Amino acid sequence: MKADNLSIEGSKPSNYGWVVVGFVFLAQVVAFGLVYSFGVFFKPLAEGFGWSRTATVGAFSAYSMTHNFFAPITGKMADKYGPRVVAIMGGFCIGLAMFLMSTITAIWQLYLFYAAIFSLGIASIYAPLMAMVSQWFEKDKRGFAIGIATAGLGVGSLVFSPFSAWLITSYSWQMAYLVMGGISWVVFIPIVIFLRRAPNTGMEAGQRGGPSKDFTAAEALKTRAFWMLSLAWFFMGIALWAVMINMVPLLTDIGVPMVTAGTIAGTIGAGSIAGRVGMGFLSDKIGRKGGILIGFGAQLIAVILLLFCQEIWMFFLFAVIFGFGYGGAAGILPAFPVDYFGSKATATILGLMIILGGVGVALGTLASGRIFDVTGSYYYMIWMCIIALVMAIGFGSLVKAPTK
């Protein structure tokens, strides 16, 4: 029997699955709105305490690496105990981290609160919730469902980047962190309480339009598909977060007001909404591989355009194209584990795939800070992103569905 015909608490999973998509969308708005807002806090923190940009952005790199450590663990916990309990723990951690960030007076505190507590919170949210959404839908609807759910990341950037810029400008970065912490606890935790895991999580993947049998995490690690996807994610991570973290500092360095810079950063999130939903739907028709290659290509075009941006309208154009490209690729990637490896260990496999992506994020952000400290320019950082996206396209083109 198909998943859409099973019942849970009096509702068809096809119906309740869309309820899950809605709640996950809202949860991602809050959680990743806070992640993307780091670029807004970046320069005020560095200048306020006299830290170098390399040292300051190093906290985000450390966050990415510790997130790598936690992601497979929280993914396995979600597969075993269900994603709701894990996500509630994550919501508590991100709220606590925001409250603690408002009190920092030394750089070691920044690293502890952001790279340890906050990273545990985000690792408890992304892979478990994305895996849960993918398990609620069959293959012909999965990309569209995940695209809508991950659009929450784009809305989070669109809302929280300019909002945090306004709070910092109007009050202080300390007050901004306090507000973010309150939103995390008051909004996020009540949202995830309503989540339910799919009733057919353990069924054969062949019944869901995927491979003939489910893969274990160990078996997935032995496939070419796993490594090609992970390496594509690695290089996309380098380019994506080098741009995201430095967008507001880059703009304010050339005289753009903070709120305008935050709005441009938020526009990347707006573009990503269209990319996630549109490419998610399209990938159900043309295949996931074609979808991620279109996404990588759009990002590459946008970063090349960034070399020539001089006027505000050009930066907004860059933001829309870059957001569409990264949203399209990032929105599709979480669909691969169920498509290729089945539903038995979805969150665990997705958590393992995230590891190389997280390494890319860490290297990209740290290298971008170092490049600026040495050269005083973002020119070479942009070229680093161009090369990384060419590599992502190369590895993405080598992805092929595995056989067991």
Q: Does any domain span residue 33?
A: yes
240 lies in some domain:
yes
Residues 6+ apart with CB under 8 A from 383: none
DSSP annotation of 274 reads H
Q: Divide the 404 residues of the chain into consecutive groups of 10 and give the mean pLDDT of each group.
A: 36 68 89 87 89 87 85 83 87 94 93 93 86 80 84 84 90 93 88 73 43 75 92 93 88 89 86 87 86 94 93 94 91 83 79 84 88 90 96 94 80
Residue 121 has which token pair?
Answer: 């919170």
Residue 331 lies in a domain: yes
The residues, ordered by sequence, that sit 6+ positions from 394 with a Cβ below 8 Å of its Cβ are none
Helix (H, G, I), strand (E, B) or coil at 296: helix
Amino acid 200: pLDDT: 59
| Dihedral in degrees, nearest 10, Cα atoms 143, 149, 151, 157 | -150
The pLDDT of residue 106 is 93
Residue 246 domain flag: yes
Rounded distance between C-alpha atoms, residue 285 and residue 273, angstroms? 19
Q: How many domains, the chain?
A: 1
Angle of helix 126-135 versus helix 13-36 axis, rounded to 10: 160
Its domain, for residue 82, covers 13-397
Q: Residue 198: its pLDDT value, please? A: 67
Query: Has residue 48 been placed in a domain?
Result: yes
Question: Residue 117 belongs to a domain with what CATH number?
Answer: 1.20.1250.20
Residue 3 lies in a domain: no
pLDDT at site 205: 41
H helices of 171-287, in order, are: 173-183, 189-192, 217-220, 224-253, 258-286
The pTM assigned to this predicted structure is: 0.73
Residue 140 pLDDT: 75
The answer to the question of residue 38 being in a domain is: yes
3-state secondary structure of 371: helix
pLDDT at 213: 65
Say what the pLDDT of residue 203 is. 42
pLDDT of residue 287: 85
Residue 270 has which token pair? Answer: 């707006």
Beta-carbon contacts of residue 206 (< 8 Å; ≥ 6 apart): 212, 213
pLDDT at residue number 201: 52
CA–CA distances in Å: residue 390 to residues 142, 156, 394? 27, 28, 6
> Does 337 map to a domain?
yes
